[in-house]
């Protein structure tokens, strides 16, 4: 990967999303290995937004669980189950979960006690959730629909390319 991120330090979060929105193909498009691309996606998001934890859980269809995928941040829970936690809610309902205060989310799975807010976006391919993108912030109220909007080009890119990656 010859690309470097080089986002201006002073850029707002919105400007960072804007700068990234057209760059996903350049950052990831040359590689056809899915895990490598998810790993670099986590790295890019960590570098751009300095989230406490950012990464992917992958649907393990055989065990009917979510299993930890590429991520950046502290040690995390390796397996998540239906009906428990924010990631499972996104998986079970195929819908985005914006949680400004994790204490108010019944059943939140606290992999890290430092997480205060969380955003989980399902990756949906051919009508099936194949993965979730999980973002944890150590600041309460730090995630909103603006982040969902900012991440939409990435999510579209992942969904469109998922099955062409080995």
126: exposed, middle or buried (C-beta count within 10 Å: 0-12, 13-18, 19+)? exposed
Task: Report the residue from 42, 80, 123, 151 that binds ligand SME according to the rule CB under 6 A.
Answer: 80
134 contributes a contact to ligand SME by CB under 6 A: yes
Q: How far is the CB of 49 from ligand SME (least distance, A)?
A: 15
Question: Applying CB under 6 A, what is the total number of residues that bind ligand SME?
Answer: 15
Give the span between the Cα atoms of 72 and 86, in whole angstroms.
18
What are the tokens at 54? 């950012």
CB atoms within 10 A of CB 44: 21
C-alpha 19 chain-centroid distance? 18
108 contributes a contact to ligand SME by CB under 6 A: yes
Give the span between the Cα atoms of 61 and 65, in whole angstroms.
7
Give the span between the Cα atoms of 14 and 17, in whole angstroms.
5
Task: Report the residue from 39, 42, 59, 111 that binds ligand SME according to the rule CB under 6 A.
Answer: 111
Q: How far is the CB of 4 from ligand SME (least distance, A)?
A: 27
Q: How far is the CB of 25 from ligand SME (least distance, A)?
A: 27
Instruction: Please list every residue from 35 through 64 that binds ligand SME, using CB under 6 A.
Output: 53
Task: Report the residue from 116, 136, 142, 147 that binds ligand SME according to the rule CB under 6 A.
Answer: 136
Give the span between the Cα atoms of 15 and 104, in whole angstroms.
30
Contact 143, 117 (CB under 8 A): yes
Using the contact rule CB under 6 A, the part of the chain among 10-18, 20-28, 78-86, 137-145 near ligand SME is 78-86
Interface with ligand SME (CB under 6 A): 53, 76-77, 80, 85-88, 108-109, 111, 115, 118, 134, 136
């Amino acid at each position: 990967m010859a690309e470097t991120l080089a986002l201006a330090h002073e850029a707002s979060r919105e400007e960072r999303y804007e700068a990234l929105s057209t760059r996903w193909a350049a950052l990831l498009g040359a590689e056809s290995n899915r895990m490598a691309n998810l790993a670099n996606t986590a790295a890019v998001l960590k570098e751009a937004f300095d989230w406490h934890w950012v990464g992917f859980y992958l649907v393990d269809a055989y065990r009917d669980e979510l299993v930890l995928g590429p991520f950046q941040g502290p040690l995390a829970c390796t397996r998540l189950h239906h009906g428990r936690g924010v990631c499972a809610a996104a998986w079970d309902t195929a819908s985005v979960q914006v949680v400004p205060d994790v204490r108010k989310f019944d059943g939140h799975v606290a992999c890290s006690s430092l997480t205060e807010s969380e955003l989980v976006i399902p990756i949906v391919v051919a009508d099936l959730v194949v993965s979730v993108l999980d973002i944890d912030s150590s600041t309460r109220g730090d995630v909103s629909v603006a982040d969902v909007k900012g991440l939409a080009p990435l999510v579209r890119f992942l969904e469109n390319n998922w099955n062409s990656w080995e």
